[in-house]
Structure 1
């Protein structure tokens, strides 16, 4: 079955309202990604503050709150459009170009991964829709899309980019069968489907194991593959370390490795600590001690024992090194929101872990005072929800407004003495300064 036929006969009727329109900008400069879920008019984010006093006293530049989402959407829709046109040569060229230059969005997402996701999005989303209840409806064309991609793979021969796209599609469908939560209850039928798709993904990628030099895009696919293979526990750290060596600026790979080295997935606490230190040593020229922080970032947010075992001094040193090596306000907001919101609001009843979280939460004060120059509301909104990758955001502008309200409340509390004294806090390119109101 050709993909064009699959899209017109199967995907479009199934997805319907899921199809994404080109983002529009309303009269307030607010992104309107889905017109059908947006009220006629919503005030700008700058006007939606928790209190009038904070609105008057805190002056923080706030760029387009969904700029990172728009940037990601651009690359995803490019891949999706080319796939619907069956223009796989251009998909391959676009992925190779982005992969060679290690191009990333302002938020650090590899562009090659975004194009790849767009190219397989219709197939994967149709499958996810069919599996919303945990099992497909009778007669659901759940294999039609992946069979169409398999035909594309057969025509493209030894192109590693297309092979990785199809392998990723199999892995995405496998996780749709299983569920993405580490403790998800899975039926025997779903387990078998999960394993079958991962087995096929492994067969697709096997011919490229010895490819040299190894492209980072292919190394990322091999990391994803380890997550569903029976021997993943033995090799997942090696797969991630190879990817990190190829692309040391890819902090997302470090965060994913830390999460997968938790006991609930494929590792243990000793291995997590060891690999965090090894990664920091090997990427010192890029991040200083920062890689230790990146590897531990999500692991300690999800696991009390990992948090209790953390070398807090090393982690804080890593925070300093990360922020001293970048002027990227996306990362500054990420670290400030993580410390203040993710760790500051997490209390799991584990005394040692809670003590560590309190120490990390205190870091928000110096991060905001020394490094914050603008506000990225979407990051604060995600931080309040523990950076849940499976979170579905139905209305991005309202989600961003909630993040901005959280951020202004936290920042307002930090500068409460200045505000109470009748002064105004203005965030400049050099950081926040207080001025007479």
Structure 2
């Protein structure tokens, strides 16, 4: 019998909920307040002071994302909608990626909806509805612009999901459920006749996909709409993270069929992103299940994590993958040696050849997790008194002095 490794909390950090449970890997890092510079290195006792590499409270990428949101929130606040829609359209059509892989169009959209997001975070429903009304007025003034339709539709989806998610316990009160369905219908109406494929718009495709949560035909549409979204932007992780959640039993799928769905996603995108889609599917599922789904192929999952890093080669993803591999390693202490070896080899290679700085926000236990990872890879050298330092590509060990 093959056991599935337990990785408690992994998916929460790697596929944290934003518009939907486990929609964006990019929300792993907790962005500092907007307008602040990147945080300085954090002093501490990682390896008793024997780590000589930058250790940051949060990733520079997340700081930049916050600045991008703030810049476009300011455009919206000043009513410069035509300018904002032009930026949004260009970024969407070009599939422009910000550092860390997040789509610039998504960041611009989030900036334009920032007052709504802030109201929803406070659960200030009247203020949120007022924000939606403002976007409805904007859409009415730009009714031929698909970007205006996207913003209004996404605002309705944000509100409906926030209302539904705010209720404690397993049940949702009838009036809240009806409100959720009502705003899903309003989102569908806002999108109108704009077709994501005809408009060449991954942003519209992502908004349309989220309708599946609140329309009667959600089961019938989810796979086709996922394929449209993924085909429009095949290197974007968000379609995989979003769709995978809806292939679980609480939505439109089964655990027995999940592995086949993950492998189908892998086949669709292997030419451009390797095995990353497979890993992303399983991360999204783990967010809901608390563990990797039964039948997950450990070697393929690890390969997918590594491919996810290589898609950008950035230190943001380097830390995501390092933290994931570390938790996998820790969870396999009683597994057969050959299974541990798969993770050990990947962690060793990743730290030595890819990691050049550490972001504490990516690690569940902060410095303790980083120390554990370094000890698994450099344990013998550390026992001889060596220190961990930056090398040509990643981390190396050297004697002090």
Residue of structure 2 equivalent to 1:9: none
**Contact 1:426/1:433, CA 8 A, preserved across alignment:** yes
Q: Could you say what the CA RMSD is over the residues aligned between the two structures, in angstroms?
A: 3.2
Give the counterpart of 1:372 among 344, 354, 361.
354
The superposition leaves residues 329-366 of structure 1 with CA deviations (integer Å, 9 ceiling, x where unpaired) of 3222211211213x45669xxx99x9999677546533
The superposition leaves residues 64-104 of structure 1 with CA deviations (integer Å, 9 ceiling, x where unpaired) of 83312211112211221111111110110110111122112
Residue of structure 1 equivalent to 2:252: 266
- Matching of residues 345-360 of structure 1 within 5 Å: none
| Cα gap change, 1:143 to 1:356, in 2 (>3 Å) | farther
Residue of structure 2 equivalent to 1:286: 272
What are structure 2's unaligned runs of at least 5 residues? 1-31
The superposition leaves residues 117-138 of structure 1 with CA deviations (integer Å, 9 ceiling, x where unpaired) of 111221342244245xxxx6xx
Residue of structure 1 equivalent to 2:36: 24
Tell me the CA shift for residue 328 of structure 1. Answer: 2.5
- Matching of residues 249-328 of structure 1 within 5 Å: 249-300=235-286, 302-303=288-289, 307-323=293-309, 326-328=312-314
SS of alignment partner, residue 256 of structure 1: helix
Tell me the CA shift for residue 201 of structure 1. Answer: 0.1
- Structure 1 window deviating more from structure 2 (82-91 vs 220-229): it is 220-229
Tell me the CA shift for residue 183 of structure 1. Answer: 7.0
| Cα gap change, 1:288 to 1:144, in 2 (>3 Å) | closer
- Matching of residues 332-347 of structure 1 within 5 Å: 332-341=318-327, 343-344=328-329
**Contact 1:344/1:358, CA 8 A, preserved across alignment:** yes
Return the alpha-carbon distance in structure 1 between the equivalents of residues 273 and 114 of structure 2: 33
**Contact 2:57/2:361, CA 8 A, preserved across alignment:** no
Residue of structure 1 equivalent to 2:195: 209
What are structure 1's unaligned runs of at least 5 residues? 1-19, 32-43, 385-401
Return the alpha-carbon distance in structure 1 between the equivalents of residues 341 and 213 of structure 2: 32
Return the alpha-carbon distance in structure 1 between the equivalents of residues 317 and 127 of structure 2: 42
**Number of corresponding residues:** 368
Residue of structure 2 equivalent to 1:242: 228
Residue of structure 2 equivalent to 1:7: none
Residue of structure 2 equivalent to 1:389: none
Pair 1:45-2:37 in alignment: no
- Structure 1 window deviating more from structure 2 (423-432 vs 147-156): it is 423-432
Return the alpha-carbon distance in structure 1 between the equivalents of residues 33 and 288 of structure 2: 35
Pair 1:68-2:61 in alignment: yes
Give the counterpart of 1:77 among 59, 70, 73.
70
TM-score (norm. length: structure 1) = 0.74
Give the counterpart of 2:378 among 401, 415, 425.
415
Return the alpha-carbon distance in structure 2 between the equivalents of residues 356 and 267 of structure 1: 32
Return the alpha-carbon distance in structure 1 between the equivalents of residues 339 and 286 of structure 2: 9
Structure number with greater CO (CA < 8 Å, separation at least 6) is 2
**Contact 2:381/2:397, CA 8 A, preserved across alignment:** yes
| Cα gap change, 1:293 to 1:223, in 2 (>3 Å) | same
The superposition leaves residues 168-214 of structure 1 with CA deviations (integer Å, 9 ceiling, x where unpaired) of 11111111210179974321111111111111001111311376143
**Contact 2:120/2:159, CA 8 A, preserved across alignment:** yes
Residue of structure 2 equivalent to 1:104: 97
| Cα gap change, 1:21 to 1:108, in 2 (>3 Å) | closer
Return the alpha-carbon distance in structure 1 between the equivalents of residues 347 and 56 of structure 2: 22
SS of alignment partner, residue 86 of structure 1: coil
SS of alignment partner, residue 200 of structure 1: helix
Return the alpha-carbon distance in structure 2 between the equivalents of residues 155 and 175 of structure 1: 26
**Contact 1:276/1:291, CA 8 A, preserved across alignment:** yes
Tell me the CA shift for residue 276 of structure 1. Answer: 1.8
SS of alignment partner, residue 433 of structure 1: strand
Tell me the CA shift for residue 308 of structure 1. Answer: 2.3
Return the alpha-carbon distance in structure 2 between the equivalents of residues 361 and 259 of structure 1: 25
Residue of structure 2 equivalent to 1:227: 213
The superposition leaves residues 274-315 of structure 1 with CA deviations (integer Å, 9 ceiling, x where unpaired) of 232222222222122332222222324542685321123332
Tell me the CA shift for residue 233 of structure 1. Answer: 2.5
